[in-house]
Every structure is written in structure tokens, then in C-alpha cells.
Amino acid sequence: MRKPLIAGNWKLHKTIPEALELVEALKQNLADITDVEVVVAPVFTALVPVAKVLEGSSIVLAAQNCYFENNGAFTGEVSPALLKDAGCSHVILGHSERRQLFGETDELINRKVKAVLAEGLTPIFCIGETLEERENDEMMDVLKRQVTVGLKGLSESQMLNVVVAYEPVWAIGTGKTATGEQAQVAHAFVRGLLAGLFGTPLAEQVRILYGGSVKPDNVDGLMAQMDIDGTLVGGASLKAGDFIRIARFEKN
Ligand code: PEP
């Protein structure tokens, strides 16, 4: 019922020629995939050239961030309308690196989620606890706050266009992946939160991705979990072979 979504977050990597080389390889090797939605998120400067290569393919384009205003005196920012103009259909929001390194709050992320939805784009809304929060038994409180504030004020129809990404901060870029069972516990909890806010039938339709050191050798176990509907991949999305294998995960 929930179509799997595999997204590659290229972070601050790859020049335009490097981005084109990677996306050409993905296009050639993933052209026949129709039962999985594949999304790539290059740096801003590579969005337009990558969009041109992706024309006519089923792979779609995401930005890694945006501002909540569409124009005005906001030096250095980029808006949802401009990202749509550049060919994006998705925008990653609230990534833990934005929260930790750039001080993004739940309230700010909520404004961004609404702005992205207003432009008809799909937010990939990231949440997740730090190691300290997990060890202090605060994981559920943190996820509850992030979900409640980050998705505040969304209508049911808007929520249907949101993709949630659960990314435990301790697993991002560290090589430490949550086990399938650990991830499933968190995903089921998040789906329960969505059910509380938007009702069970709607929560059952929302895709919840797992992110945090997803690799070719752990993707199958993660994707076998009932509430894991896809993955948000950082490091392994920079290598064509690894990302192709992840997008072609084995279904149980
Ligand atoms: C990410 O950037 O969202 C991520 C999960 O990174 P990595 O796969 O490298 O842990």
C-alpha cells in the first residue's frame, strides 16, 4: 500500500560534472524500477543540470533545504518556488545537520514544511534523537516534540503529501546502524504519533523512511520491517553501485 521510497542525500559533495556522472549511472541502472520511488538530492548548484539529465526518467529531484518565504530581502536563501522552478519535486527539511549545525528549531522547520507544501512540493521531514537523548531514555519525548511541533497545523490532505524520515543522530555518518528491530520500534512509535494527530487510516498511508548508515549490506534487513517504508541514504548514495543496490533492496 505504501510505495517504498529510496532517497539519496548527497550533502555538500560533488561538482556539477561529478553529479552528472553519478546521475547518468543511476538513470541507466534504475530505468526499469517502477515499484520503488527513487529520489536524489544534490547540492543547489547541481539541481538544474541534474534535472535535465533526469528528464524522462522515473528518478526525481530533491533539494536539501529551503527557506519559508518565496521572495524578498533574504540574502543567501532559496525558496520553494525557486526549487520547483529548478525541477525539484521534494525538499529535505529538518535534517539533523541543519538542526545541530545551523540551529534550526522545530518551529522554523514547521514554517518550512508548510511553505514547501504550499508550493505543491513534498517535504521529506527528518526527525531523530541524539545518542545522549537515547541513553537518557528521552527518545520518545524528543520524537513526540519534533513530530507535534514540526507538523503543527497541517491539514489531513497536506499530511498525505509529507514523507517522514526517522534518522537517529547517532547512526548518521557513523557507520552505526540501528538494528531492524530498534528502527521498527521507533517507526511504530512515530506512526502511532501520526495516528494520534491525524487518525489511524491516514497514519497508515504516510511513508516513514529510515536513515543512518544505510548500506547495501543492511538495507534488506531494514526494509523487511513492517513500518519502514524506505531509506534516506547519505554516504552510500555517493557511490552509484551502492545506491543502485540499496534501491534494488530485496523484498521479503
Ligand atoms: C543522511 O545524511 O541523512 C544520512 C543518513 O547519512 P548516512 O547514510 O551517511 O549515515
Which of 25-34, 52-61, 167-176, 188-197 bottoms out in mean pLDDT, i.e. has the lowest? 167-176
CA distances from 238 to 3, 56, 139, 234 (A): 23, 22, 29, 7
pLDDT band at 173 (very low <50, low <70, confident <90, very high): confident
- Sign of the C-alpha dihedral computed for residues 25, 15, 39 and 86 taken in this order: negative
In this predicted structure, the answer to whether residue 137 has a pLDDT above a threshold of 90 is yes
In this predicted structure, the answer to whether residue 31 has a pLDDT above a threshold of 90 is no
The residue type at 5:
L
122 phi and psi angles, rounded to 5 deg: -100, 120
Distance from the alpha carbon of residue 149 to the mean position of ligand 1, in angstroms: 23
User: Phi-psi region for residue 25, left (φ > 0), alpha (ψ -120 to 50) or beta?
Assistant: alpha
Q: Which of 5, 6, 10, 11 to mutate to test the pocket of ligand 1 (most atoms within 8 A of CB)?
A: 11
Please state the separation of Cα 78 from the chain's center in Å: 18
Please list every protein residue whose CB sits less than 6 Å from any atom of ligand 1. Answer: 9, 11, 167, 172-173, 211-214, 232-236
Q: Which residues are bridge partners to 246 per DSSP?
A: none
pLDDT band at 178 (very low <50, low <70, confident <90, very high): confident
Nearest CA to ligand 1 atom 2: 234
Ligand 1 atom nearest 97 alpha carbon: 2
Core vs surface per residue 86-120: b (16+ CB within 10 A) or e? bbbbbbbbbbbbbbeeeebebebbbbbbbbbbebe
Q: Which residues are bridge partners to 91 per DSSP?
A: 63, 123
Q: Domain boundaries in the chain?
A: 5-247
Q: What is the mean pLDDT of residues 170-182?
A: 89
pLDDT at 54: 97
Neighbours of 75 (CB within 10 A): 5
DSSP 88: -
Nearest CA to ligand 1 atom 4: 234
pLDDT at 59: 97
Average pLDDT value for the chain:
97
- What's the pTM? 0.97
Q: What is the mean pLDDT of residues 133-149?
A: 96
pLDDT band at 176 (very low <50, low <70, confident <90, very high): confident
Strands, DSSP E only, in the chain?
Answer: 5-9, 37-41, 60-63, 90-93, 122-127, 163-166, 208-211, 230-233
| C-alpha cell recorded at residue 111 | 514554517
In this predicted structure, the answer to whether residue 252 has a pLDDT above a threshold of 80 is no
pLDDT band at 71 (very low <50, low <70, confident <90, very high): very high
Distance from the alpha carbon of residue 212 to the mean position of ligand 1, in angstroms: 5
Q: Which CATH class is domain 5-247?
A: alpha beta
* Per-residue pLDDT reduced to its tens digit, 41-62: 999 999 999 999 999 999 999 9
